[in-house]
Amino acid sequence: MSEFVRFVNHGASHITPALVEQVMRHLPVWKAEFAQINAPSFPHLVDQLEFLADVVEDCYEGAYKDLPYMALAESVFALMYAHKKVDIIPDTMLQIGRADDSSVVRAVLIQNESAFQKYAEANHVVWNTITSKP
């Protein structure tokens, strides 16, 4: 997982407020796209992506102000990565096409677990349905 952590941290270091604004404009479409993901090998991925999208929306809109900025940047990076059609493992590959997306999302969740758990509690989300644990 450490390679994915480095990958996520590097990607998140390039997230700017302008990029967050751009993601916010596309997020409603992306959320619908994420809901259509069929990845039985990664059963938590859709819920995790929805959770990260909600976190980004709430932080951007000022509804939640207690998330560290790095957690927000990593969340934005994970959403952008999951949306990409061409990534490390093409999403069209049966069984494993979402493995890289899941690894990126899990790296974000693991690195920011306590901050996300506080967000989940504040928003009445059951953390165990989102948790980074397999």
| Torsion, CA 98, CA 2, CA 70, CA 18, rounded to 10 | -50
- Determine the pLDDT at residue 92: 65
| Average pLDDT of every residue of the chain | 91
Confidence of residue 65 (pLDDT cuts 50, 70, 90): very high
Q: Where along the chain do its domains lie?
A: 2-129
Q: What is the pLDDT of residues 96-134, one digit of tens each?
A: 778 889 999 999 999 999 999 999 999 999 998 898 565
Is the per-residue pLDDT at 54 higher than 70? yes
User: Chain centroid to CA 32: how far?
Assistant: 14
Provide the pLDDT for residue 1.
Answer: 54
* Other CB atoms within 10 Å distance of the CB of residue 121: 11
Tokens representing residue 33 in the block: 């796209």
- The model's pTM: 0.93
Confidence check: pLDDT of 39 > 90: no
Query: 77 with 15: CB under 8 angstroms?
Result: yes
Dist. CA 52–CA 71, nearest whole Å: 10
**pLDDT value, residue 110:** 94
Contact between 9 and 49 under an 8 Å Cβ cutoff? The reply is: no
